[in-house]
Every structure is written in structure tokens, then in C-alpha cells.
Amino acid sequence: MLDLSLPWWGWLLMGAGLVGFIAMLVVSIRRNQGVKRSLFASPYTLWMIIFTVLPVILIGYYAFTDMNGNFTLDNFRNFWDSNYESNKVIMQAMGEAGAAYVSRGTVNVDTLVYSLWMAFKCTAICLIAGYPAALFMADRNMKLGPTLVVLFIIPMWMNFLLRTIAWMSLLEDSGLINSFLRKLGFDGVQLMYNSNAVLLGMVYNFLPFMVFPIYTVLNKMDFRLSEAAADLGCNSWQTLYKVVMPLSIPGVISGITMVFMPSVTTFFIPRMLGGGNTMMFGDLIESKFLVEGNWNVGSALSLIMMVLILISLSILRKADPNGEGGGIA
Amino acid sequence: MKKILSVLLLLVLLLPAYALADEVVNVFNWEDYIDEAVLEQFTAETGIKVNYMNFTTVEDMIVQVEANPGAFDLCFPSDYIIERMIKKDMLAEINFDNVPNANQTIPYLQNPAYDPDNKYSVPYLWGTVGILYNTTKVDDPVTSWDILWNPKYASNVFMLDSIRDSMGITLKHLGFSLNTHDIPSIMAAKQKLIEQKQSGIVKAYQVDETKDKMVAGEAALAVVWSGDAQYAIDLNADLAYAVPEEGSNVWVDGMVIPKDAKNKENAEKLIDFLCRPEIAKANCEYVRYACPNAGAIELMGEVYTSNPVQNAPEELLNKCEFFHDIEPAFLSIYEAMWMEVKNTK
């Protein structure tokens, strides 16, 4: 089941991909785009094919096949009813009497809804906290602006796993914050092992992805526009509300996308800061692959997640059709 | 000049032949699961070079062995994986004439359930699953799994984030076998675990983090493997370990030779070497799990026999069970029920 050997048509597909790649190269050279230009693009194209297109094809293959490689839709039924497989086994083993032990499992759907809700909260908090930060950083009258930018970047030099583990040693019952509280004579509080700690970890990790796109847009903005608004009688709130904010929309859209996407797919943070009490969709997919060794259902869940992300991207794209905020959406 | 060249050429041609003649044994073991000095001693004594490779989960190991026939001569899988490998006809019978030291195995582990005729495996290390508790935070006697359901320890219990182990101890607590195929029993265990989570007793479901957190005093009680317990107790004297009276899981990591091993005799030599009492003692003292070797236990003496973590009493062990390999279709029930437990809010 974990065997990566492909059926004949899998190899055919890969061969077709390779032929397609060479054809693309030839066509682009023929179309007078110049040999040099086409050759420059080829490493990236090859990279995309090997590490993006092929894996997506493989995920699709696993999602629509069973363990023996036959076509099936069971993996998606499994998404809707997480007990789908086990119910079948129960009915087989117990016959009529099994009906009492059969029920629809809501694990996958619940986890997806919970993940979306957490991602929504995380994005909202990042936006509310990140927008003022970006304003400060882009403000030409603030001497601290560039320093703030550096302070935002420095933690990103460290791997996010390490940063999350560092949060653990702060929030633990025997951690720094609680030890300090106890020294002052207070009772300790349980800060970790719940979904608020997970949310904190997510906001901490993804906040820079909100701040920087907004900062970039604001930084590029012609500051004479706000001067003009002031000349025409706007007070500073009105300038912000009527001039700066509308102009920063592309950055906000880009920020929302860049926070929302990794938030929905978050894993590891719930296990570390949430103590495994609450699963997110990323954890669920991970456990399908690594614990249960069920690549087929794991792939189906990944596919559902990808489709959801694509849908939300296309909605956001409507709000920023020219891709001014970095064109992520 | 020509002469020198031709001699050099001859040497180059002969080199691969010498390399082939070099005796090797390809070993596939858990990470950090042996005193490496022992391997050097083996090479020094026999001239057999040891290629040492690691795996992190047994599921991963069995996949690797299946995918690369002939790549491994000696593997260290757990009991139920040995059972699965025997079922799949993946193992070679060990020629015990080459492994005289195998008779050092303690009686409890001779003819184990996973290898009933004792043909394919020799125990390497073993242990139990039990409760690690902080004596400054727990004043009740830890004699039953029931303490993990005691509301007094709300938000003070670490459970294992592992399907078979957590379902297994709950089944044991309810008086069932941890290998049960009886669906109502599995449902009862699920209900019990959901009840435990809903009453807020569980602080976290985790695996590797537990031992260090227990050392730091993060929780009162935790379900752990005996080796992790020993590690934690070594670092924090307030901690103690108990295997509840209802019985628990007892497990063995054995040494087996895959059917297509290229250096079977060398593997047998290494098994024999690892069963030598002094060597088994060195490994046991390094890894801190329980030792299956009577000679080594004698060498370690009181330090070992008076330690309840490593040396569980016989009558308790008789209530414990090995995991049996549950076929994938039926295992899906265990997996689905565990997911429902994890999904409980």
C-alpha cells in the first residue's frame, strides 16, 4: 500500500509530462521567443513539473483509488462519514446486531469546520493587529519605522518549529510565565493545552505574512495624496478612512490570503501548544498518512483542502483583479 | 615504468575482489537503541563489518524491508510486527546451533505468543506500559488504571497519543483483552475514553514529549512505556512507576533475520554476540529497558532485580498481554473509534 510503484498508465502519464515539457520548449523557441529566453525558463518549468504538477497528479491518483489501485469514490465517502470503513467491518462481523454500533462519524467534517473557524479567527486577529503595525512602519514621520521592520523580520530567521517550542517553555504550567506568577505569590494559570494557545501560536507565526504585504503597498503609496486630502479639509481619521485604506486594499487582500492559507493547513502547532486535545485538518491528514498508513483517504482529504483553497483564492481574486498586492491571490 | 603501471593496474583490479571478500552484516535497528561501543567490539573480535541503519517506526521498517530485499541481515522489530512478518513469510528460521547464547533468554519470554515455536526471533529488549506518577502530587496508591479517571486529577493526566496503547489500557481496565475483536468491548472502551476527555482529566495526548514534561513536573500522572519511565525517574527522584493490577501491555523487541538476507551466518554471529551476558548488560544499561538475558541480569545483580521498573514481578506479568497483529480491516474500527475520542470537545 505504501509501495510507490505505479501502474502502467502512471508511467505513461509521467512520460507524457516529459514529452509535453520538451514540446513546450520547442514551441516556445519556434514562436520567436528566442532560444535563450526559453532555456532560461526551463529550469523553473522542470521544477514546477517535478515538484508541483506530478505530486498533484499523484494525490489525485491516490484519492480516486483504493489500496489495490482500483478506481473508487470511497475515500470521499470516508470524508463525509469517518466511520465508513469501520461500519462496513462491523456489519460484516455482527450482521443485523451490528446496526446498534453503526453511526456516521463526523470527525473529518468537524475537523474541517473547526480548522476553517480557527483560520478565520487567526486572519481577523492578524488583520486587526497587523494593519496598525504596517501603518506605523510605513509612516515617514516615524523614526522607528525601519527598526520595526527589522524587528519583524528577525524572528523569521528561526524555524517556526523552534519558535513554537519556545512558546511552550513560556506557557507551560512549569514554564516561565507561571513560575514568575508563583514567585509573586499568585496561583498559576493553565495557559497551554487549549485552543486559545493554538490560536496564539498561529497568530504569532503568521502575523508577518499580514504585515508585510500591507506595509509594501503603503510604502509605495504616494504620500502627497494624504497631504492633498489634508489640504482639502480631511482630518487625519478621514484621510485614513477615505484615502489610505482604499488604496491599501490590494495589500490587505494579499495579506488575508497569505495568512488564511497556512492557517487552514496548520499542523504541529495544535499538537505542541494544544496538547493534541484539538485536531486541525493538517493534523488529521498527517495522521492518515503517518499513523494509519492510509494514503488513499489522506490524499482525498488533501484534495478537498486544495479545492477549498482554490475557491477562496478565486473569490479573493475578484477583489484584487490586477494583482497589485503582490499578485498572490 | 610499465612494470609499476601493470602492478598498479593489477592491484586496482583485485581491490573489488577484496572488498567483496570483506565480511559484513547489515543491521536495521531503532534509533539510539544500542551501545555503539559494542558494535566496535564485535568488529574487532570477528572482523565482520557492521553497517548500522536506523528506523523510527516499525511500520516504516517493514515497508523498507519489503521494498529492498536482501538489503538487511538483522532487524529489530516489535512483537506484533514479528508476528506479521512471520505471517507474510518474510523471515528466515534462525539456526540456533550458531546462537548458543540464545539459551540465556529468561523463561517468561521463551516461546512467546508472537513466535510460538521460537523459530524466528530472539528477544533483544522488552518492557511494559504503565503509569508514571509524581509522588508529590499523587497521594492515592497507584494500583489501578482507575486513577486515570479520578476527577481529583483533572487536567493533570498525560495520555499516550497512540491508538493501540490508549485503547489497549482502557480495554484492560474494563477487563477485556487488549487484542479484542469483540465490537461491544471496543465501543465500551471508546465511551470510557470520551468520558475521560469530557470530564477534563486529560491534559494532553502526546508521545515523545511526555517524559521530559514529567521530569519538569508538568502533570501528576502519565501513561508511558517503562523505558521512558526509567529515563524520567533517573532525572527526577519524585517520580515513580507502576503497572496497574488489571494488567497491561508487555512488549518485546526481537532480533530477526529477513528471508532474503545475504549474510545470514554473520547475522547469527551478531545475535549470539548480543546475547552474551556482558554485552546484553552493556546494552541494557545504555538503553534502560528491561533485559531478557538471564546471564546479564545475574551480572547486574541487585541494582536490576530490586528495580520494579525494569524487573516487573512475575505474577503481574502473567496478567499482561502482548499485542497481536490485528488485520488492517478490523484495525480500522480501532482507528475510527480513536479518532472519535480525539474529536471529542
The predicted-structure confidence for B37-78, as pLDDT tens digits, reads as follows 999 999 999 999 999 999 877 877 888 898 888 999 999 999
Average pLDDT over residues A199-212: 94
Give residue B17's pLDDT. 45
Q: What's the rounded Cα separation, in Å, for the pair A57 and A300?
A: 12
Contact between chains at B218 and A98 (C-beta distance less than 8 A): no
All 3 cell numbers of residue A30? 519556434
Cell 528561526 found at = A158
Contact between chains at B333 and A90 (C-beta distance less than 8 A): yes
pLDDT at residue B113 greater than cutoff 70: yes
Q: Say what the pTM is.
A: 0.84
Q: What's the rounded Cα separation, in Å, for the pair B268 and A329?
A: 61
Contact between chains at B204 and A111 (C-beta distance less than 8 A): no
Whole-number CA gyration radius for chain B? 23
Contact between chains at A275 and B163 (C-beta distance less than 8 A): no
Q: Look at the alpha carbons of B93, B97, B102, B108 in this order and tell me if their dihedral is positive or negative.
A: positive
Give residue A34's pLDDT. 66
Residues B171 and B186 reside in one and the same domain: yes
Q: Which residues pair with B321 in a beta bridge?
A: B249
**Which of A20, A38, A63 is the last residue before a domain boundary?**
A63
CATH of the domain at B211: 3.40.190.10
Q: Which residue of A has its CA nearest to B190?
A: A101
Burial (CB count within 10 angstroms: exposed 0-12, middle 13-18, buried 19+), residue B294? middle
Q: What's the rounded Cα separation, in Å, for the pair B107 and A145?
A: 74
Q: Residue B122 belongs to what H/E stretch? A: strand B121-134
Give residue B218's pLDDT. 93
| Domain annotation covers residue A325 | no
Q: What's the rounded Cα separation, in Å, for the pair A212 and A148?
A: 11
Residues A23 and A166 reside in one and the same domain: no
Residues B30 and B162 reside in one and the same domain: no
Residue numbers in A near B332 (CB within 8 A): 85-86, 89
Residues B148 and B210 reside in one and the same domain: yes
Residues A219 and A132 reside in one and the same domain: yes
Of A66-70, B11-15, B247-251, least confident by mean pLDDT is B11-15
Residue whose C-alpha is closest to residue B146's, from B182, B172, B179? B172
Residues B132 and B117 reside in one and the same domain: no
Residues B68 and B171 reside in one and the same domain: no
Residues B41 and B113 reside in one and the same domain: yes
| Mean pLDDT over the full length of chain B | 90
B20 contact partners, CB below 8 Å, separation of at least 6: none
End-to-end C-alpha distance for chain B, whole angstroms: 83
Contact between chains at A174 and B335 (C-beta distance less than 8 A): no
Residues B227 and B306 reside in one and the same domain: no
Average pLDDT over residues B282-308: 91
3-state secondary structure of B123: strand
Q: Which long-range contacts (CB under 8 A, 24 or more apart) does A168-174 make?
A: A168/A192, A168/A272, A168/A273, A171/A197, A171/A200, A171/A273, A172/B213, A172/B216, A172/B218, A173/B218, A173/B219, A174/B216, A174/B217, A174/B218
Q: Which long-range contacts (CB under 8 A, 24 or more apart) does A308-315 make?
A: A308/A116, A308/A264, A309/A261, A309/A264, A309/A265, A312/A257, A312/A260, A313/A257
Of A19-33, A189-203, B65-79, B206-220, least confident by mean pLDDT is A19-33
All 3 cell numbers of residue B106? 529468561
Residues A53 and A159 reside in one and the same domain: no
Give residue B8's pLDDT. 56
Q: What's the rounded Cα separation, in Å, for the pair B132 and B239?
A: 7
How many CB pairs lie under 8 A apart between chains A and B? 77
CATH of the domain at A177: 1.10.3720.10
Q: What's the rounded Cα separation, in Å, for the pair A245 and A67?
A: 53
Residues B179 and B256 reside in one and the same domain: no
Residue spans of alpha helices (H) in chain A = 8-28, 35-48, 54-63, 74-80, 84-94, 107-138, 145-153, 160-171, 176-183, 195-220, 224-231, 236-239, 245-264, 269-273, 281-290, 295-319
Q: What's the rounded Cα separation, in Å, for the pair B45 and B65?
A: 28
Range of the domain at A130: 115-291+301-319
Shortest Cα–Cα distance, A175 to chain B (Å): 9
Residue A105 Cα distances to A97, B69, B136, B164, B343, angstroms: 19, 40, 41, 19, 10
Residues A55 and A128 reside in one and the same domain: no
Residue whose C-alpha is closest to residue B176's, from B321, B38, B25? B321
Give residue A28's pLDDT. 72
Q: Which long-range contacts (CB under 8 A, 24 or more apart) does B39-44 make?
A: B41/B279, B42/B270, B42/B273
Nearest to A3 among B67, B217, B343 (CB): B67
pLDDT at residue B318 greater than cutoff 80: yes
Contact between chains at B155 and A190 (C-beta distance less than 8 A): yes
Q: What is the pLDDT of residues A16-67, one digit of tens each?
A: 777 877 777 777 777 766 667 667 777 887 888 888 888 888 999 999 999 8
Cell 487625519 found at = A236
Q: Which residue of A has its CA nearest to B217?
A: A174
Average pLDDT over residues A117-144: 91
Range of the domain at B201: 127-249+320-343
Per-residue pLDDT band at B10 (split at 50, 70, 90): low
Average pLDDT over residues B195-213: 93
3-state secondary structure of B128: strand
Of B63 and A125, the structure prediction assigns the larger pLDDT to A125
Residues A234 and A150 reside in one and the same domain: yes
Contact between chains at B203 and A2 (C-beta distance less than 8 A): no
Residues B110 and B196 reside in one and the same domain: no
Contact between chains at B335 and A279 (C-beta distance less than 8 A): no
Burial A86-119 (b: 16+ CB within 10 A, else e): bbbbbeebbeeebeebeeebebbebbbebbbebb
Contact B78/B252 with Cβ under 8 angstroms?
Answer: yes
Of B14-18, B308-312, B315-319, least confident by mean pLDDT is B14-18
Q: What's the rounded Cα separation, in Å, for the pair A123 and B273?
A: 60
Shortest Cα–Cα distance, A178 to chain B (Å): 11
Residue whose C-alpha is closest to residue B82's, from B121, B108, B33, B125? B121
Residue numbers in B near A279 (CB within 8 A): 342-343
Nearest to A107 among B63, B187, B343 (CB): B343
Contact B294/B105 with Cβ under 8 angstroms?
Answer: yes
Q: What's the rounded Cα separation, in Å, for the pair A260 and A240?
A: 25
Q: Which residues pair with B75 in a beta bridge?
A: B28, B256
Residues B99 and B186 reside in one and the same domain: no
Q: Domains in chain B: how many in total? A: 2
**Which of A38, A63, A88 is the last residue before a domain boundary?**
A63
Residue whose C-alpha is closest to residue B122's, from B327, B275, B298? B275
Give residue A2's pLDDT. 42
| Domain annotation covers residue A3 | no
Residues B134 and B187 reside in one and the same domain: yes
pLDDT at residue B2 greater than cutoff 50: yes
Nearest to A193 among B59, B203, B343 (CB): B203
Q: Residue B54 belongs to what H/E stretch? A: strand B49-55
Interface test with B, best of A74, A75, A176, A193 (most B CBs within 10 A): A193
Nearest to A279 among B330, B333, B343 (CB): B343
Residues A217 and A285 reside in one and the same domain: yes
Residue numbers in B near A293 (CB within 8 A): 59
Q: Residue B59 belongs to what H/E stretch? A: helix B58-67
Contact between chains at B59 and A105 (C-beta distance less than 8 A): no
| Mean pLDDT over the full length of chain A | 87
Residues B8 and B100 reside in one and the same domain: yes
Q: What's the rounded Cα separation, in Å, for the pair A265 and A280?
A: 8
Q: Domains in chain A: how many in total? A: 2
Q: Residue B6 belongs to what H/E stretch? A: helix B2-21
